[in-house]
Amino acid sequence: MIERLCVIGVGLIGGSLARALRDAGFCREVVGAGRNPAHLQKAVDLGVIDRYETDPGRAVAGADMVLVSVPLGAMAAVFSAIKGHLAGHAILTDAGSAKGGVIDAAREVFAGVPAFFVPGHPIAGTEQSGVEASFASLYQGRRVILTPVPETDVQATARVREMWEAAGADVVEMDPVHHDAVLAATSHLPHVLAYTLVESLARLGDDGEVFDYAAGGFRDFTRIASSDPVMWRDICLANGDAIQLMIEHFVADLNTLTEAIQNRDGQLLLELFTSARDARNRFVDK
């Protein structure tokens, strides 16, 4: 049982966790923190949080669990704001999509990664954002990756694991560098591709006519391009090296496909598409 959970950044991710823990009876009180009082009041009205503070330092006072769910570029500022205000028994975790930068920020602000900090990343979400988009079942059957470092206290990691499991998640642990490489391939690259495709078509100069004829395939492929641009800007900046490697790998494969089309190589096209279909079906079945 978490006596007091503080969620800094009450949006889809943090709001859904608060809802899930409430439904599970795993949390007595939720305090929200953010810069926009109207947004935070909305979270109170929806029953996601009990009260709020716009000062992160005041928000974390007395909390035994603190989740920082803000864009990666804001992590260091939040850590600085709560430094010296955390209770002695508090555990700090985050929901950032790229762990290297978050861990570096914690190391710099706290003069070393504190034992009570458990880096984490819930592999869940939608293209929607904001507390209004949050829902209690978001993490049911979804994976949460914890990336503790050698300095992280084992019991703190266990407590964060219990929290996410109470929300319905499947929790695994992973090395932070490996996490960033894996997520560059499976999450960051797809978002970059979706954004780029939509932007490319929008610049065709046909006053948007191409979108008038877009069918379900286009809608499905580009759904994630409706995600928060600030969040994805920060992810690209924080995990740029790994994302760049994946883009280069993809471009090489795209060049192979381009040559097959130019050469009217039906056999190669069939092999590529069949292999991709089979891999996708295995993923869906799994």
Q: What is the DSSP letter of 5?
A: E
- pLDDT on residue 207: 64
- pLDDT on residue 40: 96
Provide the token pair at 3.
Answer: 């006596």
Helix (H), strand (E) counts: the chain: 13, 9
Label the pairing between strands 143-146 and 65-68.
unpaired
Which amino acid does the sequence have at 184? A
> CB–CB of 87/63 below 8 Å?
yes
Could you say which residues of the chain have pLDDT below 50? none
From-to residues of CATH 3.40.50.720 in the chain: 2-174
From-to residues of CATH 1.10.3660.10 in the chain: 178-285
- pLDDT on residue 53: 96
Percent helix, strand, coil in the chain, to 5, is: 55, 15, 30
Hey, what CATH class is 2-174 in?
alpha beta
Q: For 178-285, CATH number?
A: 1.10.3660.10
> CB–CB of 79/58 below 8 Å?
no
Place of tokens 């049911």: 140
Q: How far is CA 195 from the centre of its chain?
A: 17
3-state secondary structure 57-80: HHHCCCCCEEEECCCHHHHHHHHH
Measured between its terminal Cα atoms, the distance across the chain in Å is 32
> CB–CB of 78/109 below 8 Å?
no
Q: CA distances (Å), 196 to each of 105, 235, 247, in order?
A: 29, 15, 12
